[in-house]
């Protein structure tokens, strides 16, 4: 699907047009924005991970979290889930933490990220006249959001009441006992209401930075999108891009960026020098590539400060 989308995009926008758009980029400013964005997100991400790993597993330091998260970026370039696994393996080897419990903690955080992005997209749809030449995205998100919220609410309610006497009837089934006692789900059993509130306030700033970051890349290309409109449309793009359509949303994100922003982006370059479509495609691809390169360099630097053996699970049986 990724190749199909890019085939379609490059059939509409000739690669030569991308090169023309790249010539107008302020490289120094672009690199500055990319590096600044990476470290702001990295710091905010590590603050949350340190807080909740220490709360539900084993106490860890900010320095340790900084380095381990950095190493996981190298693996994340190839496979996001493998990176989370390597992260969990490290804490098993250094702190004796359960791999499954660490993964459960990371899942606990990731679910909140999805909730926040979906909420931003929902706000955009409820308070703006979103137009899109394609599938009915408004109906899709307005339909899926209540189901997601309701499911999340039932999930929290289930774990908050799982030890009540009236829940004992389900414990006579072995599969239910395995599910209830598995380390992967212990964090949901132990989490209090204040933990969800704390997580919300820890992740909200990071999600807002991630949503708004691409407009910085556009600025480096001598273009601009009104920030209000950008924050209205970007959550919708992110919500669709997180669906398992293409790897890491590559291709899907570029297609949606062009579809939503081609009539909103402004630049003096559009007076015959380049087109909105080519500039959006060039800037979005360059932004993704820049972030991957920074992750690779930063991750390698972090790896040199620790041992790669700590990220490889050499146990004969995967623990729970």
pLDDT band of 281, cuts 50, 70, 90 = very high
> 244 or 222: which carries more pLDDT confidence?
222
What was the pLDDT predicted at 307?
74
Per-residue pLDDT for 134 more than 80? no
SS3 313: coil
Per-residue pLDDT for 41 more than 90? yes
Mean pLDDT across the stretch 31-55? 94
What was the pLDDT predicted at 280?
93
pLDDT in tens, 217-239: 899 999 999 887 888 788 888 87
What are the two backbone dihedrals, phi and then psi, of residue 224, each rounded to the nearest 5 degrees? Answer: -155, 145
C-alpha to C-alpha distance for 215 and 233, rounded to whole angstroms? 12
C-alpha to C-alpha distance for 302 and 72, rounded to whole angstroms? 9
Mean pLDDT across the stretch 152-157? 92
Q: Which of 99-103, 176-180, 185-189, 193-197 has the lowest mean pLDDT?
A: 176-180
pLDDT in tens, 60-102: 888 889 999 999 898 888 777 788 888 888 888 888 888 888 8
Per-residue pLDDT for 187 more than 70? yes
Mean pLDDT across the stretch 297-314? 80
What was the pLDDT predicted at 105?
92
Inter-residue contact 256 to 243 (CB < 8 Å): no
Mean pLDDT across the stretch 246-260? 79
What was the pLDDT predicted at 128?
67
- Buried b / exposed e over 7-21, threshold 16 CB at 10 Å, is eebeeebeeebbebb
CA dist 91 → 45, 61, 69 (Å): 17, 12, 11
Instruction: Please report which residue ranges of the chain form alpha helices under DSSP H.
Output: 2-12, 15-23, 27-56, 62-76, 80-95, 99-127, 137-160, 174-181, 186-190, 193-220, 227-241, 252-261, 276-304
SS3 224: strand
Mean pLDDT across the stretch 299-309? 84
Quote the pTM value: 0.85
pLDDT in tens, 121-133: 788 777 666 655 6
C-alpha to C-alpha distance for 118 and 115, rounded to whole angstroms? 5
* Alpha-carbon Rg for the chain in angstroms: 22
Mean pLDDT across the stretch 3-31? 84
CA dist 308 → 19, 51, 77, 85, 97 (Å): 39, 24, 16, 14, 18
pLDDT band of 135, cuts 50, 70, 90 = low
């Amino acid at each position: 699907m990724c190749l199909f989308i890019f085939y379609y995009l490059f059939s509409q926008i000739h690669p030569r047009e991308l090169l023309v758009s790249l010539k107008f980029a302020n490289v120094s400013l672009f690199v500055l924005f990319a590096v600044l964005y990476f470290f702001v997100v990295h710091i905010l991400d590590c603050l949350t991970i340190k807080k909740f790993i220490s709360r539900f597993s084993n106490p860890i330091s900010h320095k340790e979290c900084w380095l381990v998260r950095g190493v996981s970026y190298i693996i994340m370039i190839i496979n996001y889930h493998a990176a989370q696994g390597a992260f969990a393996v490290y804490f098993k080897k250094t702190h004796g933490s359960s791999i499954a419990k660490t993964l459960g903690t990371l899942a606990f955080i990731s679910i909140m990220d999805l909730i926040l992005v979906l909420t931003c997209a929902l706000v955009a749809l409820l308070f703006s006249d979103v137009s899109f030449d394609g599938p009915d995205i408004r109906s899709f998100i307005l339909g899926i959001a209540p189901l997601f919220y309701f499911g999340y609410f039932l999930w929290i309610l289930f774990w908050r009441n799982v030890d009540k006497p009236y829940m004992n009837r389900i414990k006579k089934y072995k599969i239910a006992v395995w599910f209830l006692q598995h380390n992967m789900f212990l964090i949901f059993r132990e989490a209090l209401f204040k933990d969800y509130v704390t997580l919300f306030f820890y992740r909200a700033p990071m999600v807002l930075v991630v949503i708004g970051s691409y407009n910085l890349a556009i600025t480096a290309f001598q273009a601009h999108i009104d920030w209000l409109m950008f924050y209205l449309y970007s959550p919708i793009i992110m919500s669709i891009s997180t669906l398992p359509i293409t790897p890491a949303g590559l291709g899907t994100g570029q297609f949606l960026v062009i579809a939503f922003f081609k009539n909103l982006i402004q630049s003096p370059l559009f007076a015959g020098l380049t087109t909105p479509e080519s500039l959006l495609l060039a800037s979005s691809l360059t932004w993704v590539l820049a972030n991957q390169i920074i992750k690779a360099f930063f991750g390698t630097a972090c790896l040199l400060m620790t041992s790669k053996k700590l990220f490889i699970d050499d146990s004969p049986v995967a623990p729970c």
